[in-house]
Structures are given as structure tokens and as C-alpha cells.
Structure 1
Amino acid sequence: MTIANGGVRDDEPLRIAGRSVANWLDAAATDLTAAVIERLVDDLPIYKQLPQEVVQGEIAVIVHHNMELFATLVRERRPGRKAEFVEQRNSSARRAEEGVPLDAVLHAYHVGIGMAAQELFADAEPGDIGDVQTIMVMVLDFLRQLTLEVSSSYLEERQIMDSQENSGRRSLMAALVAGEPLDAIAQRTGLRLAPHYLAMSLSIGEHADERGEGVSGTVAGRRKLRRLQAELDRITGEPALTVIDSGGGTALIPCQGNPPEWDALQRMISRTQAVVGTEIRAAALVATPAEVPAAVEQTAEIIALISRSGRPPGLYRLRDVLLEYQLSRPSPAHPELAGLLEPLVARPELMQTLEAYVASGLNRRATATALQVHANTVDYRMRRVAELTGLNPADPADLPHVGAALAARRALG
């Protein structure tokens, strides 16, 4: 039977105040995790600003994982192995992507281990000196390993974000959208051109966390975009080329094989909305590399049209907005069409009700719900619209003129 430094037998459990340190850590892990999370939120504003799903989810899981890992190391009396810090490295990379400062990330680990050690040594007795010395050495070594693994992963992620690959993808996308010669770009970046691209313009709504009181909107926005990027990458299994901010942007999704069927693509966009947690309006068109500039221009126009007309979230293509698209082209008829509704300019409530009524498919109850008024109010307003303009939206003969007039007004701004 050997004796470790400080007179501690290395074949017996390390104990403080008569209790097994490893067993105590396992039993106390959940309570310690809650205390650490509370302390972090109190100590550093960045943790107070993070979305609750991050603080109570990912960060709490990592704190708990550290407690369990250290209990294992104490039980087996050994240092940690590199493979045992994978979760900490992954978490650190995510914090780097979200823009959480490295000192705040490291602070969390030091607070967690420090609070555990403080609780652990609180009841130490004079006879525990050997075990205390052994555990203190292990605590310092564990913190050293955590600091090295977490810091290196964080810095690696930051470098990747500005890496040659990302720069190359941005260059390729810029060349595709601008219609520039692509052979030199592809050769320089090492990226191969796809035979087709799914050109997509997106309008992205705010996530609840972006406007939550006390939550960092910047961090929440970055998390939203990270989830969106992951979902766009899933569409064809190829990394999507994107220029997107928190409000929307453009994506070019490589199609090495056959592009997704429209119905399948609609389901993918619905899934993306659910995963991202916000409303998404998207317009898509399949294009060859040479056709990308025109496809991007067309999908951007479609998004502008559906946004102005108050269309619901979802995926759109040209056939969904044929009338609005055609009427958005410059034409001498624009002022005349828009002028059909000129009598309503001084009555904005009538114009708003007319737009909602047409958008609802002439459903008076749906219109009333959308405007939060009584259905009888909708009926009254539609009668006034007919009296002032001479156009009755419920009349099949007048409805095309009403729709064209509304589209012309939107086109003219």
C-alpha cells in the first residue's frame, strides 16, 4: 500500500470531514450549478444579457458537466484527458461566435470551480490536511487544463470566422451576384462552382430575445443567424453562401444534383422558421451561375412586394405575385390605376380596411380579427369605399381593378 504526498494513501477515497469528496461532488452538482449560474448573472452584465435558453441551458449544462468531471478525476486520482474537455471546447466556440468576451467565458469556469472548492473545504479538519493538499493540487491542475482548452478553442473559432475559407466564400458570392468572371475566383479560393444555385432572398423577423428587456439584442441576433445558417446548409447538404444580417439578406445554396422540389422546399422553410424561432419570408429561384444576378434581383423584388402587401410568412415565387410584379414595372397606367383609390387618401382607416379585406380573400370576419374591429364595422367601411370610389371589392367585375389599384399604389410608394 503506497502513500501519496502529504501522507494520503492513494488507494483510499479522498475525504474531507469524513465524507468522500467524489461522492459529495456528485450529490451536490445540481445545487452547486444553480448557485454558480446565479453568481454569474450577478457578477457579469453579459450573462444577464444572454438569452435565458443559453444561461439556463448550455451554460448550466457545462457547469454541471465540470462538477461531474472533477468528481471523476478525484475518484480516480488523475489529471483530465484532452478528450474529456470536448464539451467545454464546443461551448467556448459557440460563445466566441456569439461575441461573448473571452474573459467572461473564463470567469465562468473559475467561479464554478472556486465555489465548489469553497464549499468542499469549509468543513475541513486538522486531520484532513493531506487530502486537502492533494485536492488543492488537483483543483489548480483542473483549472489549468480548462483555461488552456477553453482559450484555445475560443481563439480558434475567432480565427475560423475570419479564415481564408470564409473570405473565399464571400469573394465567390460577391462575384456570382455581380456577374463577374468566375474561373479565376474559383481557382484562387479552391471552391468549386455548382451547376445550379438556389437564389434566395429573405426577410427575417425579430426573435423574442432580440427585444427582451435586459437581454443583449446583439447576442440574440447572432444566435438567430447561426441557427438560420445551419438550416440553410441543410437544404442541399452544401454550405450556403450568405450575406445576411438580422433583418434579412441573400443566400445562394449550391445544388450539385437536382434542386429540391418546390413542396419540399416549402417544408424546409417552415422547419427553418420553427428552428430559428421567428417569422421568415423567402423568395427562391433556381439559376445557373450566369443567371444568378438576375435571379437575385427578381427574388429581392418579390420579397419587397410581399412585404409591402402584408403577405404572411412563407416561401414565394414569381407566380405568387404575378399581378403585383407586373404592376411594379414602370408604366403610364400606374398613376391612373393608383388614382382609382385617391378618394380614400383622406380616410386612412378605409384604405387599411380595404387592403386587409382583399388580403383576407374578402373574408369580413378575418378582416375584423386582423384589424381588431367588429365585423359590422368592416361592412360599413366597405360600403363607404364603394360610395367614394365607385368600386365594390365584392363585385367580381370590380375586384381586378381594386387589386390592380392597390398594387399600383404600392409600386408608386
Structure 2
Amino acid sequence: MRIGGRPVGPYLRARSPALARQVVERLLAELPVYAGLPREEVAGDIADIVQHNLRLFADVVEHRRPATDAELDQQRDSAAQRAEEGVPLDAILTAYQLGTAMCWEEISADAGPGDLADVQAAVAHIMVLQRQLTSAVSAAYLEARQILDSQEHGGRHALLAALLTGDGPGLLRAGPRPAALYAAFTFAFGAHPDETEPGPGSRIATRRKIRRVRAALDRYAGEPALTALDGEGGTVLLPVAATPPWDELCALVEGAAGSAAVPVTAAADVVEPAAVPDAVARTAEIVAVVRSTGRGPGLYRLTDVLLDYQLSRPSAARDGLAKLLGPLECKPELLHTLETFLGCGLDRRTAAAVLHIHPNTVDYRIRRIAGLTGLSPARPADLQHLNAALVARRSLTGGPQEASRPGTS
């Protein structure tokens, strides 16, 4: 597609940095709400989304196709952020229309009579894209505002604070009546690949992750959950009328993880309002135990980690158990082998495959462990002590042992 003797897509793509600056200048001059945003944000998030839109215009016109759903994700996330900042929806849509108009002026400035067919085609594709943008941006903005309104209005933040602190009088001042029961969750989120990218895209990915988890929880409860979440996780109080089946809660966590496209580790307990503070403290400890012992994502309860939980409590017994492995502290390959061997159910071949060493090397290392500690996994009584010692050690060091050089012996 060529207009004014130039291929539209490559020309617009090459002009997008300069044109983006011009669009931003118009936004600041003609839309006071944008002029009131922090300059850092205007130069960062706003300029980035404008340039992203211009490149999308170039792709759509060049390849004569509508935008894909994935290509509109950044616009959705930008609209959600503007909603959080209180920017009116009409100002956002006006900004998109202004950008579209300036884009069209740029590519059609030198159009001649012979360009009529390509001009008509370009207009048709731009109109389709403008309709897609309006739909995607409006839906994302309204979804974000619905979540924000449900949290900000009606005293939900006050209710959450009162429940977490056990403030009985605060429950009366909060506004909404507390539910009969709450599923008290502690969440730990993995990082989405987009969060590792430099620039504002990582912040967008974090907000998107949190928003999608909240939406999944709200759909399950049929009303907004009480949440205190950031990019790494946090606390959720889910109002329930009766104790849900555990499998149902597991499916909820799995569904939230799927929606956010990140691994999610969580712990939950269903309690009455007065027991919320203790339940939240306990679920946070369970998540810490789960992560320190190398378990995978999913939903856990106390019964899933009873031994690890108990041995992680501060006590002379815990410290004494951990000291049983003292002779191995300077030999990380032996500690790593012991962790792996016990984790593989004492199967030397499986452990060898995991460690990428020969099974005979596993046998040799286990003999060295027995010689240094006096404890052998082959003796049932010693095996119990070794397992308990590893759990106690993890609670003190924060996680399982990793060998510095897995292939050494």
C-alpha cells in the first residue's frame, strides 16, 4: 500500500518516534487531565503507549488486517492504569481519536488522485482499528473501575483492616457487615515473563497479573473479595456462606494462576471473622514453609505440611536437629545429594539422573554422609532423624541446599 509515492507501513514506522512526541504535545496542550499527570509518567507510560499505537497502525495498514487480541493488551493495561489514576474515560477516548487523526494526517498529506484506491483501503483499516481500540480500552477501563469502586467505596478497605487487626469496634465502623465466614488466603505469585522486561512494560504486566487474580476471586465469590495484593502476592479474604470443599478452593487457585499466567502458591483456612488475624498469620507461615521446602505451586493447608511446620517453630529441638548436619555445612554437594536422594524416595538411579551423576557416585556420597554424621538413610531410625534435620535446617537457612558444583564428588 503506497500513498504519496511512499509505502505507508514502513514510512509510518520510521516516523513513529517523532510523531509520538507531537501527539504527546497535543495531548498536554488540549487535554488538561493529561497535563496534570506527572512528567515522568507522560514521558514514560504515555509516550510508550502512543508509539505502540502508531506502530500498530503501521502493521494494520501494511498487512491489510485487523489487530489481534494480543496486540491490544498494552492498550488495555494502559486504560486500567488511567482508571486507577482517575483519568476520565472520555479523555482517554479523545486521546486515542486525536492520535488517530494525527496519524492519518501524516500518511495522507501527500496523497494524489492516483492514490485513491490505497487511501480508501487505508481509511477502511484505520476505521476498523479505531473501533477495536475503543472497544478494548472502554472494556478494560470499566473493568478496572468496577474493581476499584468495589474496594474504595462502602468501607471495604476499613473492613479489611478491621478484620486483619481483630478490631471488633472497627468492624462496626467499617460500613459493610462482615461475612459469616472468610476463606483467608495468603498468596505468593511467580513472575510473569513480561515483568522481567525493562521499562514500563514490567509495571503494566504486574498490574495485569494482580487484576486477573482479583477478577477470578471476585467471580468465585459473586462479590468483591477483600484483597491486599502486590506483585509478589499478599492477603485475600474471600467471603463465603459455608466452608467450601477443599477441591473447589484448589481449583480456584489453579484458575487464578491460569488467568494470570503465573505460578501461584497459596495457603488457606476458612474461619469466622474473629479468627481472621490468626488464620492469616498461619497461612503466611504455611506458604513460607512450602516455598522453603521446594514444593510446587498450588493450594496448601496445615495438614499438608504438619511435620515441616512443627519443626520450623523456634525451639532447642529444632536447633539440635539442624546441628546433626553440621559436618556437611562445608560440603554443599553432599547436602544437595542428601536432599535429592531422600526426595527421590531413596532411589539411587532416579537421584543420579536428577543430579546428572553416576549411581555409584550417589552410593559413594551417601557413605561419606554416613561417615561424617553417623547417620545412614539405610537405617529407619537414622532416616527419620535425617529427614527431620533437613526440615529444621531449611527453616533456619530459608530453603533446600543447592550444590555449588552439582557434578563434583
SS in 2 for 1:244: strand
Distance in 1 separating the partners of 2:167 and 2:217: 24
Confirm or deny that 1:304 pairs with 2:288. yes
Distance 1:162-1:285 versus aligned 2 partners, 3 A rule: closer
For the 8 Å contact 1:41–1:47, the answer to whether it is kept is no
Q: Which residue of 1 aligns with 2:367?
A: 383
Q: Which residue of 1 aligns with 2:186?
A: 201
Matches within 5 A, 1:288-367: 288-364=272-348, 367=351
For the 8 Å contact 2:79–2:137, the answer to whether it is kept is no
SS in 1 for 2:188: strand
Q: Which residue of 1 aligns with 2:255?
A: 271
Q: Which residue of 1 aligns with 2:160?
A: 173
For the 8 Å contact 1:197–1:286, the answer to whether it is kept is yes
Distance in 2 separating the partners of 1:368 and 1:49: 50
How far does residue 279 in structure 1 lie from its aligned partner after superposition?
1.5
Confirm or deny that 1:221 pairs with 2:209. no
Which amino acid is 1:294 matched to?
Answer: D
How far does residue 348 in structure 1 lie from its aligned partner after superposition?
1.7
Q: Which residue of 1 aligns with 2:82?
A: 96
Distance in 2 separating the partners of 1:246 and 1:35: 39
How far does residue 241 in structure 1 lie from its aligned partner after superposition?
0.8
Distance in 1 separating the partners of 2:188 and 2:378: 32
Distance 1:208-1:165 versus aligned 2 partners, 3 A rule: closer
Distance in 2 separating the partners of 1:248 and 1:353: 32
Distance in 1 separating the partners of 2:158 and 2:148: 13
For the 8 Å contact 2:78–2:204, the answer to whether it is kept is no
Distance in 1 separating the partners of 2:218 and 2:260: 13
How far does residue 154 in structure 1 lie from its aligned partner after superposition?
9.9
For the 8 Å contact 1:41–1:48, the answer to whether it is kept is no
How far does residue 36 in structure 1 lie from its aligned partner after superposition?
6.7
SS in 1 for 2:228: strand
Q: Which residue of 2 aligns with 1:247?
A: 232
For the 8 Å contact 1:311–1:359, the answer to whether it is kept is no
Q: Which residue of 2 aligns with 1:398?
A: 382
How far does residue 325 in structure 1 lie from its aligned partner after superposition?
1.2
For the 8 Å contact 1:98–1:219, the answer to whether it is kept is no
Residues 40-59 of structure 1, C-alpha deviation per residue, up to 9 Å, x if partnerless?
Answer: 67847547977xxxx69xx8
The sequence identity of aligned pairs, in percent, is 39
Distance in 2 separating the partners of 1:116 and 1:329: 66
Q: Which residue of 2 aligns with 1:8?
A: none
How far does residue 310 in structure 1 lie from its aligned partner after superposition?
1.1
Confirm or deny that 1:285 pairs with 2:269. yes
For the 8 Å contact 1:350–1:385, the answer to whether it is kept is yes
For the 8 Å contact 1:99–1:219, the answer to whether it is kept is no
Which amino acid is 1:185 matched to?
Answer: L
Distance 1:345-1:165 versus aligned 2 partners, 3 A rule: closer
For the 8 Å contact 2:190–2:232, the answer to whether it is kept is yes
Distance in 2 separating the partners of 1:223 and 1:98: 12
Which amino acid is 1:114 matched to?
Answer: M
Q: Which residue of 1 aligns with 2:27?
A: none
Residues 184-214 of structure 1, C-alpha deviation per residue, up to 9 Å, x if partnerless?
Answer: 535542x231111101111111111111245
Distance 1:382-1:212 versus aligned 2 partners, 3 A rule: farther
For the 8 Å contact 1:337–1:408, the answer to whether it is kept is yes
- Of 112, 123, 137, 2:100 maps to 112
Distance 1:35-1:122 versus aligned 2 partners, 3 A rule: closer
Matches within 5 A, 1:80-95: 93-95=79-81
Structure 2 runs not aligned, ≥5 long: 2-6, 22-43, 67-74, 120-125, 398-409
Distance in 2 separating the partners of 1:32 and 1:161: 40
Root-mean-square deviation (CA), in Å?
A: 4.7
Distance in 1 separating the partners of 2:84 and 2:172: 30
Greater Cα radius of gyration, structure 1 or 2:
1
How far does residue 378 in structure 1 lie from its aligned partner after superposition?
3.6
SS in 2 for 1:392: coil
Distance 1:156-1:227 versus aligned 2 partners, 3 A rule: closer
How far does residue 320 in structure 1 lie from its aligned partner after superposition?
0.9
Residues 97-134 of structure 1, C-alpha deviation per residue, up to 9 Å, x if partnerless?
Answer: 57799999865543333223444564355xx9xxx9xx
Distance in 2 separating the partners of 1:154 and 1:319: 40
Distance in 1 separating the partners of 2:135 and 2:273: 42
How far does residue 298 in structure 1 lie from its aligned partner after superposition?
0.9
How far does residue 232 in structure 1 lie from its aligned partner after superposition?
1.9
Residues 60-102 of structure 1, C-alpha deviation per residue, up to 9 Å, x if partnerless?
Answer: 7xx99xx999xxxxxxxxxxxxxxxxxxx97764242577999
How far does residue 357 in structure 1 lie from its aligned partner after superposition?
3.0
How far does residue 172 in structure 1 lie from its aligned partner after superposition?
0.9
Distance in 2 separating the partners of 1:98 and 1:341: 51
Distance 1:331-1:92 versus aligned 2 partners, 3 A rule: closer
Structure 1 runs not aligned, ≥5 long: 1-23, 25-30, 70-88, 133-138
Which amino acid is 1:166 matched to?
Answer: E
Residues 276-308 of structure 1, C-alpha deviation per residue, up to 9 Å, x if partnerless?
Answer: 111111111111111111111111110111111
Distance in 2 separating the partners of 1:261 and 1:32: 58
TM-score where L is the length of structure 2: 0.68
For the 8 Å contact 1:92–1:105, the answer to whether it is kept is no
Distance in 2 separating the partners of 1:32 and 1:101: 33
Q: Which residue of 2 aligns with 1:411?
A: 395
How many residues align structurally?
343
